Amino acid sequence: MKKTLLTIFVLLPMVLNAQSNIKLYDDMCDVLQSVFCDYVSAEAETKYISSRHGQYIGQLIDNTIYGWGYFLSEDGSQTFGQYRKGKHLFGITLTDAIARVGSEESFVEYDLETGGILRIHDKEGNHEPSKEYLEAFSSGAPCNGFHRIKYANGDAYYGETYNGKRHGYGVYYWTNGDFWYGEYCDGYRQGYGALFKTDRRVFYGKWIGDCKVE
């Protein structure tokens, strides 16, 4: 009996951790992120571009959008993340109704009103969320979602959550106009991202909490 209980207590954190890190899409691993950052650091320049299609703040290589950037289209949709040869490589796209997180080939689409998953897309096509997910979400159990959170100091967060905390990819807005796009874990910045300043400077790399480590 004691051995059985010990086994349960050893495995339980592993199960909970697995649940809180459910992979809904293919993200960029640390090695690829590091290579990407090194390349754009050596080759890219940061610019502001305004055209009939919208406004872009971010990096370019040979006058082509390439690197960390933010695009506000004329229809009001916003796209944050990483670009390669003019195409959105990975990140978040926001409209009035939905949020899409991931790449063109692998993404999850959320309902901004409820925060729940509308569909999951991968190489095999579109999939509806599982029955288990829908039951957990409707019961209020801890599960993945995408939420708009307003804080008492005026800051705001638009992004993925787990168990009520910032968890996954999201955008954090400060009241001074700066915003940060990147990865969170258990409420804190944990991974690669980019800080967009009101003076159109962009700082990018790996972050842990409030500290940029590379």
pLDDT one-digit tens code per residue, 5-15? 343 333 333 33
Which percentage of the chain shows pLDDT scores above 70?
Answer: 89
- What pLDDT, on a 0 to 100 scale, did the predictor assign at position 12? 33
Any idea which residue has 């708009």 for tokens?
148
* Secondary structure class of 15 (helix, strand, coil): helix
Give the H/E segment covering residue 49.
Answer: strand 45-51
Band the pLDDT of 124: cuts 50, 70, 90: confident
* Secondary structure class of 199 (helix, strand, coil): coil
Q: Is residue 128 part of a domain?
A: yes
Q: Is residue 7 part of a domain?
A: no
Question: For the chain, how many structural domains are there in total?
Answer: 1
Q: Is residue 6 part of a domain?
A: no
Q: Is residue 18 part of a domain?
A: no
Tokens standing for residue 204? 């990018």
Express each pLDDT in 2-56 by its tens digit.
Answer: 444 343 333 333 333 333 445 688 888 899 999 999 999 999 999 999 988 899 9
Q: Is residue 2 part of a domain?
A: no
Q: Is residue 55 part of a domain?
A: yes
Q: Is residue 34 part of a domain?
A: yes
Q: Is residue 85 part of a domain?
A: yes
Counting every residue written for the chain, the total comes to 214
- What pLDDT, on a 0 to 100 scale, did the predictor assign at position 134? 80
* Domain encompassing residue 159: 23-212
What is d(CA 209, CA 84) in angstroms, rounded to the nearest whole number? 27
Tokens standing for residue 73? 């289209």
